[in-house]
Structure 1
Amino acid sequence: MQRTLMMSMIALSMGGMSVAAQAQTQQQNEIEQLRQEVQALRSLVEQQKVQNAQTATAIANVQRTAATVPANPVLKTAKGAEFNLYGNVRLDASYKVDGGPIDWPYNQINNVALEGTAGNSDRLSSTLSATRLGLDFKTQAAEQEVKGKIEVDFLGGANFDNLRIRHAYVNYGNWLLGQTWSNFAVPDYMPETIDANAYVGGAVKRTPQVRYTAKFNPQTNLVLAAEDPKDKLVTDKVITQRLPAFTARLNHQFADNLNVSVRAMGHEKRINSEEEMAWGVGVGAKYDVVPGTTLKADYYHVKGDSSFVSFANKGVVVEADGSLVQNEFDSIMLGVTQKFSDKLHGTLGYGYMTFDKDQNYLDAPGSAATANKNLWQAWANVFYSPTKPLSFGLEYVYGERETFASKTGEDNRLNAVAIYNF
């Protein structure tokens, strides 16, 4: 019995050892499997790192290649200045029911035929003389960038078909030297027109000048300039000058949608030994009522000058005794431009100019018969741009001229334009 009990205990002991051995073996197998999985995961991570590095290298190579091949190659002069060429090809046409004496399609409201006088009526005229060509330059001088512009068209000469300079100037810091828009008679506040000569109350004056701009803050700046007014002839007398015209313009942006400009000018008019001081003031405003709707207005009061504001009577005339008499006038131009879409917009505008009556001025030789008392014009236009470089416009204008001799004349025209910009 004891022997049997002992044998049973030995059997149980051997069975327990066998179970324990099996459990240990299974545990070792699981550990080995886990070790293999960890090793595989480690290899996968190392492989991913290599792929990421290769991808980063490829991207860097692409970026470097793109940086060395610009989309728009930079053009340079022989002296190293960068420049770009721009311009347009422009065809203007006008059908005059009634109009000025010169056979071209631009404004001549101050010279339209008076009643009882044979005029230039019922006539079609066209020209490509307003076609433009321009170059913008820039280069680095020390720590300051120098910019320049040269722009020409073909509206020069007696027949308005010769090459002429529109703009030719250099900008260095706050200084400008050369020819560009007058600091006094700026076109910024004129409602848009098809007519390249603008309408009553506007000014398209470009002068040789030296200009300095003082910036008080991002919203306000003051521009001072010394300009050549190019007012040379009065009847058969020659105007000489000892000093340039001095002009000042204060610009201020009251809000994102409202800009205002206040301007002043003064210069000497000298004929023989006689001299008078010409002067003028102006104010312009641009107001975006809502997105796509813009109002513009421009006002001038000028005495003794006809060189800055277009279509004015002679600024000064010579009396029989040799003394000088000045002309004085007020003018205003206003209009609204509506953008209907990215391709279509139009403008309604009105301009008016009135001259003070001075009997001494009217009694001067050659003045009374031709001096204008009032001028006005109203116009409506529409511009259509089917693609970015092309633009087509159609405009109707009607105006009247009244002289101090109580005679009137009419300006009645339909204008069209086609422009290719490049």
Structure 2
Amino acid sequence: MNAKTLTQSFNFQSTTVRPTMQRTLMMSMIALSMGGMSVAAQAQTQQQTEIEQLRQEVQALRGLIEQQKVQNTQTANAIANVQRSSASPSPILKTAKGAEFNLYGNVRLDASYQVEGSSRDLPYNHINAVALEGNNESSDRLRSTLSATRLGLDFKSPVGDRDVKGKIEVDFLGGSNFDNLRIRHAYLNYGNWLIGQTWSNFAIPDYMPETIDALAFVGGAVKRTPQVRHTTKFSPQTNLVVAAEDPKDATISQRLPALTARLNHQFADNLNVSVRAMGHEKRVNSEEEMAWGVGVGVKYEVVPGTTLKADYYHVKGDSSFVSFTNRGVVAQANGDLIQSEFDSIMVGITQKFGDKVHGTLGYGYMSFDKDPNYIAATKDTTTINKDLWQAWANVFYSPRKPLSFGLEYVYGEREAFGPALDKDTKQPISGRTGEDNRINAVAIYNF
């Protein structure tokens, strides 16, 4: 083959091969492009699937959150309803003018076995007048009464943007024989003002150790007086209460009310202190003397379930506020007034032994100044005392909420300024000491 023929043959093959290679390259590129598009489509589909799953999970979580909110709201409403029902029970009566009434009270049986004491036919304290040794003593006697049974009514009525609140409470310890209906509390409370009869602002029972005896023991006071009083709050922990009171002192001719003041302060959650003062004019015939007194009370929770209480008084010229005292003033032959003066203290500790049982140990003491003029002005010196003291221990058991039972032992003595004298010979027929030795019991049903 010559050169020309070879050249033509090569050119022909080149022309034939080139289109074939181009088509093959184009087909490969198309295949690669189609493969890339397929992978991209698969990736996009998977991403959309994952987004949809995430959206469903978020929606489910949102539903759980909303459900939990509903449950929390229902629980909070239920708790609030329980708190409201326990804090302020539904009134038993509501008048057309919007006044709400709540009835409460108890049925109470008191009993006392007197080992030694006075002939007084009542199972309550009478330490300042128990029989002196050797003269009209009374021993081994059982006494009982339901006179301390109470009935009370709490009420409130809207007046403007405030409520007028009040209380009426009675029992059957009135009269000379302690068997008549009497008013314990009857007052109205509007804002910081109180008008009516309730615990004296000076001789309050808040700091007395617990007793079964409804009349309390030496150093205590259960005085309720008609009064007008105002409370000033300096802070949540401190307030001042001032009052004008009618102490109902039958031994004098009264023309002015007693003025009392009480400063209360809470030093901590477990420590409360009260400082009190009193002043009152005493008039017998045309003679006048100013009686006065101070008091300090402390309540201290030593540890949860253990509470210490103490109450102290120093009083001159008054026998109407603190219990079991000598007569506040006596008149001499020339008409001059002589005042009695005393110090008293009551202290006790209460221990809880669970939800159903608690008990108290207590002690009370009262000492009177030995004023010879006061003694000389008193015809019967057996009726005035130099010293009084009592100690007691009790336990209360509440098997169920409405029921409560208590048992208490008390022992005390009084020392008079003089013995009992024979009417004819004027010679002593007794000692100067009288004894109070009793076991008290109580059963209470509260409603």
Q: Does the TM-score normalized on the shorter chain lie above 0.5?
A: yes
For 2:445, the equivalent position in structure 1 comes to 420
For 1:126, the equivalent position in structure 2 comes to 144
8 Å CA contact retained: 1:361, 1:367: no
Normalized against structure 1, the TM-score is what?
Answer: 0.85
**Residues 127-149 of structure 1, C-alpha deviations (whole Å, 9 max, x = no match):** 22222232333344333343222
For 1:236, the equivalent position in structure 2 comes to none
In structure 2, the CA distance between the partners of 1:63 and 1:139, relative to structure 1 (3 Å rule), is farther
Paired with 1:66 and 1:53, the residues of 2 have a C-alpha distance of: 20
Sequence identity of aligned pairs in percent? Answer: 68
Letter in 1 for 2:94: T
**Residues 386-406 of structure 1, C-alpha deviations (whole Å, 9 max, x = no match):** 343333222110001111114
**Residue in structure 1 matching 2:398, options 368, 385, 390:** 385
3-state secondary structure, aligned to 1:369:
helix
Paired with 2:317 and 2:22, the residues of 1 have a C-alpha distance of: 138
**CA shift at 1:222, angstroms?**
2.1
For 1:37, the equivalent position in structure 2 comes to 49
For 1:399, the equivalent position in structure 2 comes to 412
After superposition, residues 369-384 of structure 1 pair within 5 angstroms as 369-384=382-397
After superposition, residues 13-412 of structure 1 pair within 5 angstroms as 13=25, 16=28, 19-20=31-32, 23=35, 26-27=38-39, 30=42, 33-34=45-46, 37=49, 41=53, 44=56, 72=85, 74-75=90-91, 77-78=94-95, 79-233=97-251, 239-364=252-377, 366-406=379-419, 407-412=432-437
**CA shift at 1:117, angstroms?**
2.0
In structure 2, the CA distance between the partners of 1:288 and 1:46, relative to structure 1 (3 Å rule), is closer
Paired with 1:328 and 1:64, the residues of 2 have a C-alpha distance of: 58
Q: In terms of mean alpha carbon deviation, does 99-108 or 267-276 score higher?
A: 267-276
Paired with 2:345 and 2:201, the residues of 1 have a C-alpha distance of: 18
In structure 2, the CA distance between the partners of 1:61 and 1:174, relative to structure 1 (3 Å rule), is closer
Cα RMSD over matched residues? 3.5
3-state secondary structure, aligned to 1:130:
coil
In structure 2, the CA distance between the partners of 1:77 and 1:47, relative to structure 1 (3 Å rule), is same
In structure 2, the CA distance between the partners of 1:44 and 1:382, relative to structure 1 (3 Å rule), is same
3-state secondary structure, aligned to 1:185:
coil
In structure 2, the CA distance between the partners of 1:359 and 1:344, relative to structure 1 (3 Å rule), is same
**CA shift at 1:274, angstroms?**
2.9
**CA shift at 1:323, angstroms?**
4.1
State the aligned residue count: 417
Normalized against structure 2, the TM-score is what?
Answer: 0.81
**CA shift at 1:158, angstroms?**
2.8
8 Å CA contact retained: 1:101, 1:111: no
Q: In terms of mean alpha carbon deviation, does 297-306 or 50-59 score higher?
A: 50-59
Letter in 2 for 1:287: Y
In structure 2, the CA distance between the partners of 1:51 and 1:147, relative to structure 1 (3 Å rule), is same
Paired with 1:44 and 1:301, the residues of 2 have a C-alpha distance of: 80
Which has more radius of gyration? 2
Q: In terms of mean alpha carbon deviation, does 124-133 or 183-192 score higher?
A: 124-133
Structure 2: state its 5+ residue gaps. Answer: 1-9, 420-431
Letter in 2 for 1:23: G
Letter in 1 for 2:288: E
**CA shift at 1:195, angstroms?**
1.0
Structure 1: state its 5+ residue gaps. Answer: 234-238
Q: In terms of mean alpha carbon deviation, does 79-88 or 4-13 score higher?
A: 4-13
3-state secondary structure, aligned to 1:121:
strand
Paired with 1:57 and 1:248, the residues of 2 have a C-alpha distance of: 52
**CA shift at 1:183, angstroms?**
1.0
**CA shift at 1:352, angstroms?**
1.2
**CA shift at 1:178, angstroms?**
0.8
